[in-house]
Amino acid sequence: MSDQMSKDPSGKRIVTRRAFLGAVTALGAAAIAAGCQTPAAAPTTAPKPAATTAPAATQAPKPAATTAPAPSAAAAATQAPTQAGAAKKLAGVSLNGALFQHPYSDQIKALTPEFEALTGAKVNIDVNVFANYNQKMDLELSTKGSAYDFANITFIYTSKWIGAGWFTDLEPYIADPNKTPKEWNADDFAPAAMQALRGKDGHRFAMPHECGGQLMAAARGDLVEKAGLQMPKTFDEMIKVFDAVQDKDGVKAFVEDNLHHWESIGYIQGYGGSILKNPPDNLTPVLDTPEVAQGAGFYANLLKKYCPDGVLSYTDTQAMEAQLQGRANFRTQSLAWLSPIADPAKSKCATTVKYAVFPSGPKGAFPQINSHGAGIPIGSKNKDAAWEWIKWAYSPEMIKRLSIELKYSTICRLSVVNTPEYKKMMTLNGQDVASLYANLLGQKPAYMAYRTVVPFPQIGAAINKAVSAIATGQATPEAAMKTANQEAAADIKKAGFKIDI
């Protein structure tokens, strides 16, 4: 444990929180084995020299009970047998994890010291913003390296990463009762969320924490009402409403992040456009149609006309901040990014936010639906321990706690989604958002097939470039999408696929 002691510049020994938690590990594990409900070490507890804390704690096993967030009694109880066994197994194990920045990641990272206390493992989690995460992880996975023991599989990379054999098949872990107790219930995850996380053989390669379906939220719904209008249901109404609320109270009508190839597709498909001819069998890109140009043009115009300055480089977090701070009104995005607006602790718009479904275009409504999860990279040298973390982070108890106590919305365990507590929690600013979400969970839309093909990242990059070129007036929608089509075709061919062009 001496390596966990770090020296501060003056050379004085200081004890980090991790060292402290490590020190109480043995105690925690022992206490659990004895079957008593030990409060998990509170992250808020002031670090104390481990040497003095540990013996003291042995005698009084409730050192931090008052400051600790109430731990789930059920979790402690059901996991006691496995965790006690794991405690010996994972002591001295060092796990590295990589997650992309997301409300879920932030919360689970903050809770992970509890996992460390339970199992004795030392866990380091790197969190990066989505685009950056994909770049880095794609590079790391392509080497089949051992840098990370658990990592997020992100939606557009699911086919590439699973298909190329860069993630570990989880079925053996799920099937083995010694590794996974029956109560853990792997089949509880919504089929819509699991769909993309399975390999061609139907095996599961990751467990989902988000089933992201696009909904619409207006942080300042009051401005819409004040204008005598309702939440828009169609693209045309969107423009009408946006024109009416733009710059009212200094609030921009719209905001989005820079992942245009996610945000724009619902609009492209709403106008009747498609991305690929017939995925996954025929990957010929069909971005050069008038419908695609219309949809991309519509979306780019939203970015150009109604958004805060610099929106083209906004990350997910920055776009969410704009809504939380009340600088921007509407956003069409996954619920995980929209539900925090109703949280008075984070948001200035908790009492004005309004939710609605994704609007329809002339050809119908095509809310984009994805899922993200965590799996074990193939090169990991601590797969069993990594599974312990996944099991802990995605257990029914943890998911319940994350959603009910910590207000995390886009969970995928149906047993939790169907509880009255979840329904109550997801009644946001008086609106029943739970049923909007449950409705998305039940879908497995065929129109999403374009997105889970191996070369989608390249196709996405071409679309991204085109949308930003349209939004900045560098090219007409037609010209930009035509270029995108050429680029996508070249890249799909370069990736070894036969297409019609």
Residues found near another protein in the complex (CB under 8 A)? 6, 8-9, 14, 16, 96, 101, 124, 126-129, 132, 134-136, 138-140, 142-148, 160, 163-164, 309-313, 317-318, 454, 457-458, 461, 465-466, 468-469, 471-475, 483, 486-487, 490-491, 494-496
d(CA 314, CA 258): 5
Find the shortest distance in angstroms from Cβ 418 to another protein: 33
Nearer to another protein, 96 or 332 (CB): 96
Q: Say if residue 52 is exposed, middle or buried (CB neighbours under 10 Å; 0-12, 13-18, 19+).
A: exposed
102 versus 407: smaller Cβ distance to another protein? 102
Closer to another protein by Cβ: residue 136 or 198: 136
CB of 312 to another protein, least distance (A): 4
What value, to the nearest 5°, has the Cα angle with vertex 398 and ends 402 and 177? 160
Nearest 5°: phi and psi at 312? -65, -15
Distances, alpha carbon 423 to alpha carbons 218, 225, 316, 370, 409, in Å: 21, 26, 26, 22, 10
> Helices (DSSP H) in 5-157: which residue ranges?
17-33, 50-59, 73-90, 103-119, 130-142
Shortest Cβ 136–another protein spacing (Å): 8
Token pair 């070249």 in the structure block, residue: 490
Q: How far apart are CA 218 and CA 221, in angstroms?
A: 5
Q: Which is nearer to another protein, 7 or 182 (CB)?
A: 7
Is the preceding omega at residue 191 within 30 degrees of 0, hence cis?
Answer: no
Angle at 68 between CA 420 and CA 91, to 5 degrees: 105
Residue 92 or 362 having the CB closest to another protein: 92
Quote the CA–CA distance of 79 and 397 in Å, as a whole number.
10
Report the alpha-carbon angle 422-428-430, nearest 5.
115
Rounded to a whole number of angstroms, the minimum distance from the CB of residue 295 to another protein is: 18
> Which DSSP string corresponds to 295-357?
HHHHHHHHHHHHS-TTGGG--HHHHHHHHHTTSEEEEEEEHHHHGGGG-TTT-S-TTT-EEEE
Cβ nearer to another protein, comparing 293 with 471? 471
- The token pair at 451 is 């997105």
- In the bound state with another protein, the residue whose beta carbon lies nearer, of 182 and 200, is 200
d(CA 204, CA 268): 31
Which tokens belong to 314? Answer: 């906004």
Minimum Å distance from CB 396 to another protein? 28
The H or E element containing residue 387 is: helix 383-393
In whole angstroms, the minimum distance from the beta carbon of 270 to another protein comes to 23
Of 54 and 490, which CB lies nearer to another protein in the complex structure? 490
Q: Taking the CB of residue 369, how many other CB atoms lie within 10 A of it?
A: 25
Q: For the CB of residue 328, give the shortest distance to another protein in the complex, in Å.
A: 14
Give the shortest CB-216-to-another protein separation in angstroms.
24
Q: Cβ closer to another protein: 136 or 423? A: 136
CB of 349 to another protein, least distance (A): 19
Give the amino acid at 383.
K
Q: State which residue, 8 or 281, has the beta carbon closest to another protein.
A: 8
Smallest gap from residue 140 Cβ to another protein (A): 6
Beta bridge partners, 210, equal 372
Cβ proximity to another protein: between 311 and 356 the closer is 311
Least Å distance, CB 469 to another protein, is: 4
14 versus 77: smaller Cβ distance to another protein: 14
Work out how close the CB of 225 gets to another protein at its nearest, in angstroms, rounded to a whole number: 29
Which amino acid would we find at residue 218?
A: A
- State the DSSP H helix or E strand holding residue 398, giving kind and residue range, or none if neither: helix 396-400
Strand 122-128 with 94-100, pairing: parallel
In degrees rounded to 5, what are phi and psi of residue 443?
-95, 150
Taking the C-alpha atoms of residue 104 and residue 154, their distance in angstroms, rounded to an integer, is 13
Using the minimum distance from each CB to another protein, give the nearer residue, 282 or 472. Answer: 472
Q: Minimal distance in Å, beta carbon 474 to another protein?
A: 5
